[in-house]
A and B are shown apart, each in its own frame.
Chain A
Amino acid sequence: MIQLLVSRIIGLVPLLLIVSFLTFGMLHMVPGDVRDRILGTDATAEQYEALGEKLGLNDPIVVQYARWLFNAVQGDLGTSAYNSQKVTDAVLDTLPVTLSLTLGGMFVAILIGVPAGVYAGLHRGSYIDRAAVLIATIGQSLPNFWVAMLLVIPLGLIWQVVPATGFVSPSDSITEWIKSITVASIALGTSASAALARQTRGAIIDVLRQDYIRTARSKGLSREVVTFKHALKNASVPVITTIGFQVNGLLGGALIVEQIFGLHGFGSLAIDAVRTQNMPMMQGVVIMGTLVIVLVNIGVDIAYGFVNPKVRSS
């Protein structure tokens, strides 16, 4: 188990190197740079050159990358293109929002998707099963920002049970934090829960066909024990894998949905960085986004190890 964890974390290094070099290289092809910001609109060509020299923008890209990397390993992802704000700080400031939405969406997805899938799988062929499958398929087809847009009107504006905009840090107030991410999490979780429900249903059906379920029944165990002990733990193996796959989608959805609630997460940071050509920031967001996905997936792997002893011991 620990070995698995260590190897996964070591595996991160080349991944982050590739990702960072690619983004670094690509983002340097963008027309215009930091100097537009610093010098404003009225600068002369000499000022432009001089500043470029001072900031090291005239060095070859590999040198610039090496410099960036040297700082990055020490936790310094560079400085915003238009003030002294550290990219690391900006990314860490917005991380709670993106993480909250991603995990909140995941939570909602599991909360709805898994029980629905288990129920449908256990009652295969029943009307409820068929209805659940159809609802899940429809749910999977809903654009989450549309759901968010439609949900915020009644919940945030008419009844005002949750705030229509803004994010409250969990360190300030847990209940307010939950309220501030509820609608977004529901919107994000709907489509993910649909995918999860379908997977869970499939996994349950599959597991119920397994020999060991027959064995469990041959021991005279009640249906409940067979289902909730023997079937569920095994069915959770493919389900957990699916959850891992969902993380990328949830993070992507969070970027868009946060716009609707005026939340300042990676989405705002990235869109803003695109709009203001704040390339150090863009770079930082992509790296952090990758890190979030990989770390959540490592978390998923740990959960996976819990339900799958084969992974744990090998």
Chain B
Amino acid sequence: MRYGTGSPMQTFDPHRADTGPAFSTYLTLVYDGLTRVAPDDTGDPLPALAKSWEWIDDVTIEFVLQEGVQFIDGEPFNAYAAKANIERMIAAEGPRSRTVASIQTAEVVGTYRLRLHLSYPDPTVTYNLGLSPGMMVSPAAFDNPHLDLNPVGTGPWIYDFENSTIGDVHRFRLNPNYFKGHPDGRADYEIRLLKDSRARLNALVSGQIDFAVLGPSESEYAERRGFNLSTRMSRWMGMTFIDRNGEVAPALADVRVRRAIGYAVDRQAIADVVFFGFAEPRSQPMATLGHVDDLKNYFYYDPQKARTLLKEADAEDLHFVVPVIAPISAGYEAIQHYLKQVGINMELEVVEPGSYAALARTRRFPVNTIGYPTYDPDSRHLAIWGPEAAYNPFELNTSQLETIAARARQTLDEELREQLFEEYFRIIVTEVYSLVFVHVMDVVAYDGERLADVEVSRYIDPRLREVKLAPRVTGL
């Protein structure tokens, strides 16, 4: 199974890895966690190396572990190994360590029983342990300086270090001792890094790879060429107003101006033309948890209304600068055009993706344009809107949001959480902390003759673990 990805492998050390496309492309193949995140929209934590778990009290959770599992180096997996992993993860202070900051200590209560003691009630811990911080590494490999290039896990595939070239081709062999065995059709992987969507399409069309994530225009062509598409709404495209007190762009302090921007843009046209229909007009950030039904069509295309709002706000000759990264600039170029129609001069400054994070943490721009995922509201709160958020350089006081988010974080009551997040996002949308234009689809194109069960994961890349060769291929 040959897959073309645009995401470079960064590190195979899960405790120092972020959760993103690199995780879902490379790390999930070779590692298992105590739990795993359901690949569907629910994102529920499912059993993995832990067969089951139960809350002993509000701040203690006990996992019952799989027996008879071995790491690929022959080390046994058990509660001692799991404890060592949790401790290593905490000590590593990796990029995702804050998501599991509630974990204080790990305690072995039996060879296959592990208890985690938390500092506060944290319902997200089972979810987050299904991501990179919870991946289990062979304790014998902890001190291996090249662990980040040559992983030692329990996963269904074994990374073929010898036959791989970092930044080009990564090869994975099936793990013959995988504790769950392998379903029919599962095969070795060859993952090729092709940064450019056009190059991936070329590789797909010329039969050099079997499936790949494609950009909108490439997807449209791939569909015409008879490839199967698997899609999933994953990110929103919009603007987050981080300077709501108007330090850099005074006019943006007025919520009416921010709303005017919301009415000035033809979302449908952007979805249809810029994204070739692989996007849908939306007014709010979240697709599932945090989605507010009655705000569904809060914003619509009405330039006249936008002009009226601007007049009311007495905002004339409105001018501000927005940073964008080149790969997504087309959408903002279109928005720029719409804003000009209502008299807003939005200037684009293209920045390097590598510098973007650093720049977004300064007070240089009143707006950021990072495309965030449409799920996992708590993570978004921590990153974007919370008072301590990295992308709150103007240090706006959002204690009101923090209060809501903190309550949601610490309750195990699903319904209450939903209510709390509805309240939260009503503020985000109506006060226009962030303005959403469309939700963008991730598209995986594949050869339906060769592959089955190709579906897009939350992290842009397809759920590589589920992909199988089509029956007719394996039958040969």
Query: Could you list which residues of chain A lie within 8 angstroms of chain B, going by C-beta atoms?
Result: 30-32, 36, 38-42, 47, 82-85, 89-90, 93-94, 152, 156-157, 160, 163-167, 259-262, 264, 268-269, 272, 274-278
B452 touches A (CB below 8 Å)? no
A/B interface sample: 9 pairs, CB < 8 A = A31-B359, A32-B358, A38-B16, A83-B10, A84-B145, A166-B192, A264-B193, A272-B8, A276-B354
| Contact partner, A262, options B166, B203, B390, Cβ 8 Å | B203
- Nearest chain A residue, comparing its CB with the CB of B9: A83
- A166–B205 alpha-carbon span in the complex (Å): 13
B194 touches A (CB below 8 Å)? yes
Q: Is B354 touching A82 in the complex (CB atoms < 8 A)? A: no
Q: Is A269 touching B93 in the complex (CB atoms < 8 A)? A: no
B96 touches A (CB below 8 Å)? yes
Q: Is A40 touching B199 in the complex (CB atoms < 8 A)? A: no
Q: Is A36 touching B195 in the complex (CB atoms < 8 A)? A: no
B residues near A30, Cβ cutoff 8 Å: 355
- A272–B354 alpha-carbon span in the complex (Å): 9
Q: Which of B191-239 contact A (CB under 8 A)?
A: 192-196, 198-200, 202-203, 205-208
Q: Is A84 touching B354 in the complex (CB atoms < 8 A)? A: no
Q: Is B203 touching A31 in the complex (CB atoms < 8 A)? A: no
Q: A82-B10, A90-B166 are in contact. List 5 more A-B contacts (CB 8 A).
A: A40-B96, A156-B206, A160-B206, A262-B203, A278-B354
Q: Is A84 touching B202 in the complex (CB atoms < 8 A)? A: no
B98 touches A (CB below 8 Å)? yes
| Contact partner, B148, options A41, A83, A274, Cβ 8 Å | A83
Q: Is A274 touching B206 in the complex (CB atoms < 8 A)? A: no
Chain B 11-22 interface mask (CB, 8 Å, partner A; 1/0): 101001010000
Q: Give the size of the chain B interface in residues (CB under 8 angstroms).
A: 44
B residues near A260, Cβ cutoff 8 Å: 196, 198-199
Min C-beta distance of A105 to chain B, whole Å = 19
Q: Is A166 touching B95 in the complex (CB atoms < 8 A)? A: no
| Contact partner, B352, options A82, A156, A275, Cβ 8 Å | A275
- A262–B201 alpha-carbon span in the complex (Å): 11
Q: Is B203 touching A85 in the complex (CB atoms < 8 A)? A: no
- Nearest chain A residue, comparing its CB with the CB of B94: A40
B residues near A42, Cβ cutoff 8 Å: 95, 98, 382-383, 390
B residues near A47, Cβ cutoff 8 Å: 93
Q: Is A277 touching B354 in the complex (CB atoms < 8 A)? A: yes
B353 touches A (CB below 8 Å)? yes
Known contacts A36-B358, A165-B199: does B206 contact A93 (CB below 8 Å)? no
Min C-beta distance of B210 to chain A, whole Å = 14
B residues near A152, Cβ cutoff 8 Å: 202
Most chain B CB neighbours (cut-off 10 Å) among A40, A165, A261, A274: A165
B interface majority secondary structure: loop
A residues near B471, Cβ cutoff 8 Å: none
Min C-beta distance of B211 to chain A, whole Å = 15
B167 touches A (CB below 8 Å)? yes
Chain B 358-377 interface mask (CB, 8 Å, partner A; 1/0): 11000000000000000000
Total inter-chain residue pairs, C-beta < 8 Å: 113
- Nearest chain A residue, comparing its CB with the CB of B18: A40
B182 touches A (CB below 8 Å)? no
- A200–B357 alpha-carbon span in the complex (Å): 52
- A38–B194 alpha-carbon span in the complex (Å): 24
Q: Which of B121-172 contact A (CB under 8 A)?
A: 145-146, 148-149, 165-168
- Nearest chain B residue, comparing its CB with the CB of A162: B206
A residues near B206, Cβ cutoff 8 Å: 156-157, 160, 163-165
Q: Is A83 touching B149 in the complex (CB atoms < 8 A)? A: yes
Q: Is A262 touching B11 in the complex (CB atoms < 8 A)? A: no
A residues near B192, Cβ cutoff 8 Å: 166, 262
B residues near A32, Cβ cutoff 8 Å: 354-355, 357-358
Known contacts A90-B167, A268-B167, A275-B354: does B390 contact A41 (CB below 8 Å)? yes
- A260–B10 alpha-carbon span in the complex (Å): 23
- A277–B146 alpha-carbon span in the complex (Å): 22
- A31–B167 alpha-carbon span in the complex (Å): 25
A residues near B199, Cβ cutoff 8 Å: 165, 259-262
- A264–B196 alpha-carbon span in the complex (Å): 11
- Nearest chain B residue, comparing its CB with the CB of A35: B358
- A205–B350 alpha-carbon span in the complex (Å): 51
| Contact partner, A269, options B10, B16, B167, Cβ 8 Å | B167
Min C-beta distance of A112 to chain B, whole Å = 26
The 9 closest A-B pairs by CB, nearest first: A40-B95, A262-B199, A32-B358, A164-B202, A277-B354, A164-B206, A262-B194, A83-B11, A165-B203
- A82–B207 alpha-carbon span in the complex (Å): 33
- A90–B358 alpha-carbon span in the complex (Å): 25
| Contact partner, A274, options B165, B168, B352, Cβ 8 Å | B352
Q: Is A157 touching B202 in the complex (CB atoms < 8 A)? A: yes
| Contact partner, B166, options A39, A85, A261, Cβ 8 Å | A85
Q: Is A166 touching B149 in the complex (CB atoms < 8 A)? A: no
- A152–B202 alpha-carbon span in the complex (Å): 9
A residues near B198, Cβ cutoff 8 Å: 260
Q: Is A276 touching B202 in the complex (CB atoms < 8 A)? A: no
Q: Is B202 touching A165 in the complex (CB atoms < 8 A)? A: yes
A residues near B200, Cβ cutoff 8 Å: 262
